[in-house]
């Protein structure tokens, strides 16, 4: 019995050590550093790139944002798009910074972060779910509203039918410029939407070239050549921006409470799952989950890569058609 006591003490000591390890406070510093770098990427200023058209005047970010919202409101009211607002969009796209693309970044996750998707609140009209509230928020007019390219292309078609080839093709080039800027500033969702825009330009503007003067076709080809050379060469940029936003959206609860991020978008994403203060167990779980995610090496989805390459080939075909090839 006396000989067994040392072994018993060792067992007890081991269990105590195991308990201390299990009760340790997780080190969230690396995770918080990742969140900080992710926020820096999300809040990065719009990139500089060559212009496809000589700008006539400067357009502020606020002016361009207001024009995008008003164009949406005109569409909602089934009114004709204002020539003045389309000119603001054109000048915004002609600047040497991709502000339009930055304003157009998808807000699906940002808006989702502001609504409790599990909340069900009774009202006089019956049960109103947060999912319904999210659906309504998606239809609100904002700078990233869906359908801007269709509105611009509709005006291009009208100009072409009226015999205004220069104005029609300039609008077509603007839609390509918009898609390019969205690719340069957005994530994979934005890239997929931009792919659709370029496909529609090919379908709508390709036939216009046949009835446009050679001089206007050549000008259009020059604009598109500039744009083609500044599309992202790979999906690395959109993937990195996606990863940054998903990190904030998924692990934002673990951020340093005293740290404020540099832009509202990053703050909204990080606040997606805010609630009661984290328990120790929740902090441990977040640290473990983040360690797993950090160890993963995501490769570009082959379907996305193929779709992007096909879209660029569509653009190449449109340039060749404009050149008469």
**pLDDT > 70 fraction of the chain, expressed in percent and rounded:** 83
Residue pLDDT, tens place only, 219-268: 999 999 999 999 999 999 999 999 999 999 999 999 988 889 999 999 99
Tell whether 112 is covered by a domain.
yes
Tell whether 6 is covered by a domain.
no
Label residue 124 by pLDDT band (50, 70, 90): very low
d(CA 96, CA 107): 24
Tell whether 232 is covered by a domain.
yes
Residue pLDDT, tens place only, 292-317: 888 876 666 789 999 999 999 999 99
Is residue 153 within 8 Å of residue 204, measured between CB atoms?
A: yes
Residue pLDDT, tens place only, 14-48: 433 434 445 678 889 999 999 999 999 999 999 99
Label residue 277 by pLDDT band (50, 70, 90): confident
Query: How many domains would you assign to the chain?
Result: 1
Tell whether 255 is covered by a domain.
no
Mean of pLDDT over the chain: 86
Residue pLDDT, tens place only, 164-180: 999 999 999 999 999 99
Is the pLDDT reported for residue 185 higher than 50? yes
Tell whether 244 is covered by a domain.
no
| Of the ranges 90-104, 110-124, 257-271, the best mean pLDDT one | 90-104
**pLDDT > 90 fraction of the chain, expressed in percent and rounded:** 71
Q: Residue 248: which of 184, 187, 308, 207 has the closest Cα?
A: 187
Domain of 212, in residue numbers: 42-239+300-322
Tell whether 276 is covered by a domain.
no
Is the pLDDT reported for residue 133 higher than 60? no
Residue pLDDT, tens place only, 147-161: 999 999 999 999 999
Tell whether 98 is covered by a domain.
yes
Label residue 113 by pLDDT band (50, 70, 90): low
Tell whether 3 is covered by a domain.
no
Q: Which position has the higher pLDDT, 272 or 190? A: 190
Q: What are the C-alpha distances in Å from 23 to residues 18, 165, 254?
A: 9, 73, 18
d(CA 178, CA 155): 15
Helix (H) or strand (E) holding 122: strand 120-123
Helix (H) or strand (E) holding 199: helix 188-210
């Amino acid at each position: 019995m006396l000989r067994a006591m040392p072994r018993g003490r060792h067992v007890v000591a081991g269990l105590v050590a195991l308990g201390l390890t299990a009760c340790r406070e997780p080190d969230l510093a690396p995770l918080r550093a990742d969140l900080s770098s992710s926020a820096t990427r999300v809040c990065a200023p719009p990139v500089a790139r060559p212009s496809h058209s000589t700008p006539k005047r400067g357009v502020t970010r606020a002016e361009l944002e207001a024009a995008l919202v008003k164009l949406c409101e005109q569409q909602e009211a089934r009114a004709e798009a204002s020539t003045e607002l389309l000119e603001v969009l054109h000048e915004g796209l002609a600047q040497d910074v991709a502000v339009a693309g930055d304003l157009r970044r998808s807000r699906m996750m940002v808006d989702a972060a502001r609504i409790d998707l599990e909340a069900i609140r009774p009202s006089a009209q019956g049960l109103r779910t947060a999912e319904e509230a999210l659906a309504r928020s998606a239809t609100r007019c904002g700078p990233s509203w869906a359908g801007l390219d269709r509105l611009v292309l509709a005006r291009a078609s009208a100009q072409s039918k009226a015999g205004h080839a220069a104005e029609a093709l300039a609008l077509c080039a603007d839609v390509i410029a918009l898609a390019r800027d969205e690719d340069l500033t957005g994530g994979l969702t934005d890239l997929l939407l931009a792919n659709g825009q370029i496909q529609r330009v090919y379908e709508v503007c390709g036939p216009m070239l046949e009835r446009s003067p050679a001089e206007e076709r050549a000008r259009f080809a020059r604009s598109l050549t500039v744009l083609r050379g500044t599309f992202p060469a790979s999906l690395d940029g959109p993937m990195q921006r996606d990863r940054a936003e998903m990190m904030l959206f998924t692990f934002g609860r673990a951020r340093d409470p005293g740290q404020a991020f540099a832009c509202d978008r990053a703050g909204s994403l990080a606040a997606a799952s805010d609630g009661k203060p984290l328990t120790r167990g929740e902090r441990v779980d977040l640290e473990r989950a983040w360690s797993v995610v950090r160890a993963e090496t995501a490769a570009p989805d082959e379907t996305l890569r193929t779709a992007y390459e096909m879209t660029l080939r569509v653009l190449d075909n449109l340039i060749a058609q404009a050149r008469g090839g």
